[in-house]
Amino acid sequence: MDPKVKTGIGVAQKGMKAAKVGKKALDMKKKLPGEKKKAARKAAEKAAKKAAKVALKIEKKQNRKARNKKAVKNSKGIGRVALAIWNRYF
């Protein structure tokens, strides 16, 4: 076989392999942004749920503190130790 023909066949085979690898990489690249967007959207939804839950928890705690302070003020016969325990746990 002529060396030039042999070299040409080798180059063609390498080119075909490179084209296959390039096509696979291009396909992966096309898929990647969509997957990233999907993952980002899921993470944002999860963070929003968590933030809403934390905000609700804080709001409940503030309301409970205000309600309990009123209850403590209305009850006159509570001792100092009992008041400290009440403030700490309620």
pLDDT tens digit string along 4-60? 777 777 777 777 777 777 777 667 666 766 677 788 778 888 888 888 888 888 888
Confidence class for position 1, pLDDT limits 50, 70, 90: low
Per-residue confidence (pLDDT) for residue 77, from 0 to 100: 62
Whole-angstrom Cα distance, residue 68 to residue 65?
Answer: 5
Per-residue confidence (pLDDT) for residue 46, from 0 to 100: 86
Per-residue confidence (pLDDT) for residue 75, from 0 to 100: 66
Confidence class for position 68, pLDDT limits 50, 70, 90: confident
Number of domains in the chain: 1
Per-residue confidence (pLDDT) for residue 45, from 0 to 100: 84
Whole-angstrom Cα distance, residue 59 to residue 38?
Answer: 32
Q: Are 25 and 51 in contact (CB under 8 A)?
A: no
Domain of residue 61, residue span: 3-89
CA dihedral 3→5→10→11, nearest 10 degrees, is 110
Per-residue confidence (pLDDT) for residue 40, from 0 to 100: 78
